[in-house]
Structure 1
Amino acid sequence: MPTVSETYIENRQRVQPTHTNNYASAHGGNVVKWMDEIGAMSAMRAAGETCVTAKINGLDFKRPVPQGDTCIVESYVYAVGQTSLRTRIRAFRESPRTGERELTTESYFVFVAVDADGDPTPVPELTVEGDRCRELRDAALAAEPDGERGGQ
């Protein structure tokens, strides 16, 4: 059985001119795409199966990611249902020169594990072992939008 911390993935994307909108900051669609990709990787690590996006909940853009900065996306699975995986995903802007980091976007995605035919397939239980696992899970549950508790 996978642990919460084993599903933790962090990725970096340098915001280039082709990623930006008219205001020289990362286009929101690009940020969502990066979040979806990293979230799916966390879900697949937990499920051991291909995972597809089923729901995006509470997508909040708090501030932009300027061109030239690095967009850091962190993701982890914090709860599972029979075939679903609840994943907390956050994006940050980071200055490549100073390392200064600031939260820009956060959301909760639900992924569904699918078999080779594209049908939902069961996922293993998620275990919480040690302080890091508990901290990640508890932080996700505390910030989770209302009505999301419980799995599919």
Structure 2
Amino acid sequence: MVAVLETHIRNRFRVQPNHANNLGALHGGNLMKWLDEVAAMSAMRFAGETCVTARVDELDFKRPIPVGETALVESYVYDAGRTSVHVALRAWREAPRTGDLEETTGSSFTFVAVDDDGTPTPVPDLTVETEEGERLRERALEIAE
């Protein structure tokens, strides 16, 4: 069994001009790529296997992240099936000089664990061992409904 908090990852990406759209903000496709990469890390940490993206369940862009700021991406596993792994994601714009945060994006992705031959393989049960883990899981389940 793997606990929710064992899958919790936060990663930062500096938004550079080559990541921008014509409005000077992070291109949504670049953010989606970063979300997918961090979510895959959470899924693989949970499954102990390679995990491939099966579905983007939702992707809500709330506000832009300007060039020069940092994209902070958070992910964690909140549910699992027999071979599937459900990962909750959020992103924030972070001011590099102050650390001030503003939420910009909410999302959830579904991954499938695969073996060395690319065949779907079972994943462990997910456990919740702390109040923080329960809070994160409940938040993700409410959003997914």
2:14 matched residue in structure 1? 14
Residue 106 of structure 1 and its aligned partner are, at CA, apart by 1.0
What is the DSSP-based 3-state SS (H/G/I as helix, E as strand, rest coil) of the residue aligned with 1:90?
A: strand
Counterpart CA distance in 1 for 2:85 and 2:58 is 16
Q: Which has the higher strand share?
A: 2
2:83 matched residue in structure 1? 83
What is the DSSP-based 3-state SS (H/G/I as helix, E as strand, rest coil) of the residue aligned with 2:142?
A: helix
Superposed structure 1 runs of 4+ greater than 4 Å apart: none
Q: Is there any run of 5+ residues in structure 1 with no aligned partner, and where? A: 147-152
What is the DSSP-based 3-state SS (H/G/I as helix, E as strand, rest coil) of the residue aligned with 1:46?
A: helix
1:149 matched residue in structure 2? none
Counterpart CA distance in 1 for 2:6 and 2:136 is 11
Counterpart CA distance in 1 for 2:125 and 2:142 is 21
Residue 98 of structure 1 and its aligned partner are, at CA, apart by 1.6
**Structure 2 counterpart of 1:26, which letter?**
L
Matches within 5 A, 1:1-152: 1-144=1-144, 146=145
Could you tell me the percent identity over the aligned residues?
60
> Aligned-pair RMSD on alpha carbons?
0.7
Question: Would you say how many aligned residue pairs link Structure 1 and Structure 2?
Answer: 145
**Structure 1 counterpart of 2:120, which letter?**
P
Counterpart CA distance in 2 for 1:45 and 1:90 is 18
Residue deviations 1:110-130 (CA, integer Å, cap 9, x gap): 000000010100000011101
What is the DSSP-based 3-state SS (H/G/I as helix, E as strand, rest coil) of the residue aligned with 2:11?
A: strand
Residue 73 of structure 1 and its aligned partner are, at CA, apart by 0.3
What is the DSSP-based 3-state SS (H/G/I as helix, E as strand, rest coil) of the residue aligned with 2:119?
A: coil
Q: Which shows bigger deviation, 35-44 or 132-141?
A: 132-141
Residue 46 of structure 1 and its aligned partner are, at CA, apart by 0.3
Counterpart CA distance in 2 for 1:103 and 1:58 is 16
**Structure 1 counterpart of 2:107, which letter?**
S
TM-score of the superposition, structure 1-length normalised? Answer: 0.94
**Structure 2 counterpart of 1:93, which letter?**
R
